[in-house]
Amino acid sequence: MQGAKLWNSNHRPEHVKPDLEATLKDLQLDYIDSFVIHWPQAVPSTGKSLTLRPNGCFPAHHSKNTMFPLDDEGYYCADLESHYVETWAAMEELVDLGLTKSIGLSNFNRMQVEEVLKNAKKYTPAVLQNESHPYLHEKDLRDFCRTHNIVFQAYSALGSADRPWRVAGSITSGVPKAGYEVLGHPDIAKIAEKYGKSTANVVLRWHLQMGGAFVCKSVTPSRIKENFQIWDFELSSEDMNVMDKLNIGWRHLLWAETSMHPDYPFKDCLPYDYKLGKPGVGSTAGAK
């Protein structure tokens, strides 16, 4: 299966098809299976031109090597004239053109998914790809998706151990105790031992039993192989109860540096005293 995401600076309806066409060219394909809007909040493209890979975005302040334009003070810019409902209409045309089999959303909150559902003309979202792992179950959102025939697809399914949160923590719940990253949690390790499986196997099996799909990533061939070994065991209801207790609403891919945008999806996860930050190492950014 081949999937891709719409670049945040190409939300303007006239930029949507060229964005996918550039991806298809990169992949040397005529169509893909799934194309999702990466985030609901749009950032500006480069003036009047498209922001197409491989050139990326070249605004005046691209020198800081960020993915999207910065203003004079070094903060992210927002495209306030763009709204995801208009972007969705352009996404729908891609299905009719045969460039993607299905279209979906990513990092949208429930209200935003609902707004897209209400305004969709022909095609509703096939998938919602959001952060979810044993520390962030998203049960309500999963239920909402099920009722509306949307596949909930967890990203950061294994807890993204290679991202900066391990050191820098998440502004939602701080730094996990040493050794308490998702794959190192002793309760998950105990379950893994019981079945003779790895902690990654247990977490991925848990995703399956939660009823959604997931995407996980490894650059290690033996782990890629290992991550498929989840079909020959089943977590008991007691094990699922243990997993239930790990849910602490710990979201780390916040991209809070764009939270000035009215369409920013996770405002309720930001501390009341959060002050808009600049993009930087160890930041809350999901986009670096």
Ligand X SMILES: NC(=O)c1ccc[n+]([C@@H]2O[C@H](COP(=O)([O-])OP(=O)(O)OC[C@H]3O[C@@H](n4cnc5c(N)ncnc54)[C@H](OP(=O)(O)O)[C@@H]3O)[C@@H](O)[C@H]2O)c1
Are the C-beta atoms of 173 and 254 separated by less than 8 Å? no
CB of 221 to ligand X, least distance (A): 9
Residue-wise burial string across 194-229, b where 16 or more C-beta atoms lie within 10 A, e elsewhere: ebebbbbbbbbbbbeebebebebeeeeeeeeebbee
CB of 182 to ligand X, least distance (A): 8
Interface with ligand X includes 283 (CB under 6 A)?
no
In sequence order, the 6+-apart residues with CB closer than 8 A to the CB of 272 are: none
Interface with ligand X includes 227 (CB under 6 A)?
yes
CB of 73 to ligand X, least distance (A): 26
Stretch that binds ligand X, among 10-18, 24-32, 143-151, 222-230 (CB under 6 A): 222-230
Peptide bond into 54 cis (omega under 30): yes
Cα–Cα distance for residue pair 129/162, rounded to 1 Å: 19
CB of 31 to ligand X, least distance (A): 19
Q: Contacts with ligand X in 42-101 (CB under 6 A)? A: none
> Which CB atom, from 40 or from 69, has the smaller least distance to ligand X?
40
Q: Contacts with ligand X in 140-159 (CB under 6 A)? A: 155-159
Cα–Cα distance for residue pair 6/173, rounded to 1 Å: 30
Stretch that binds ligand X, among 13-21, 59-67, 165-173, 223-231 (CB under 6 A): 223-231
Nearest 5°: CA angle at 194, between 252 and 214?
35
Are the C-beta atoms of 133 and 200 separated by less than 8 Å? no
Number of Cβ within a 10 Å radius of residue 59: 19
CB of 60 to ligand X, least distance (A): 26
Interface with ligand X includes 23 (CB under 6 A)?
no
> Which CB atom, from 141 or from 200, has the smaller least distance to ligand X?
200
Contact positions vs ligand X (CB under 6 A): 38, 106-107, 129, 155-163, 183, 198, 200, 215-220, 223, 226-227, 253, 286
